[in-house]
Amino acid sequence: MRIGELAQRTGVSPRSLRYYEDQGLLTSSRSEAGQRHYSETAVQRVSLIRQLFDAGMTSRVIATVLPCVDIPGDLGVAEETFTAMMRERDRIDADIAHLIETRDALDVLIGANSRHRAELSMAPEPTVEST
């Protein structure tokens, strides 16, 4: 199938499909005119790549995980994939911890602003003197 059909069937833009190829995540053959042609299995491959991106993985990490799919019976590859996924999970946990700290710092500022607004609402209105 050509890139347009793969894009339509997977909901992924042709630009993203070309990017996946550039990153070594997806392969195609080329016609004499240079058009990309994908096998039927590319549909499942693109779906898996999207799941991995949705899980927060970068294309570099995805490239280390995909061999587990390509060589499913290799224990060494399975171990490397497990290690890569655990490393990504640890990175995401660290990102979450940082976001919680950032949210907590913002909560302090919101509290200070709330107190300031309350003080302003209790203050008497300034009077304007006529001349």
1-21 per-position pLDDT tens digit: 999 999 999 999 999 999 999
Q: Residue 39's pLDDT is what? A: 95
Residue 113 structure tokens: 């602003």
What is the average pLDDT across 87-107? 96
Global pTM reads 0.73
What is the average pLDDT across 26-44? 94
Residue 131: pLDDT above 70? Answer: no
Looking at residue 35, the DSSP 8-state letter turns out to be -
What is the average pLDDT across 13-34? 95
What is the average pLDDT across 22-29? 95
Bridge partner residues of 37 (DSSP): 2, 29
- Confidence tier at 130 by pLDDT (50, 70, 90): low
Residue 47: pLDDT above 90? Answer: yes
Q: Which architecture characterizes domain 3-121 according to CATH? A: Orthogonal Bundle (1.10)
* 3-state SS, one letter per residue, for 56-118: CCCHHHHHHHCHHHHCCCCHHHHHHHHHHHHHHHHHHHHHHHHHHHHHHHHHHHHHHHHHHHH
- Confidence tier at 129 by pLDDT (50, 70, 90): confident
Residue 87 structure tokens: 């490393």
- pLDDT tens readout for residues 60-73: 999 999 998 888 88
Bridge partner residues of 2 (DSSP): 37
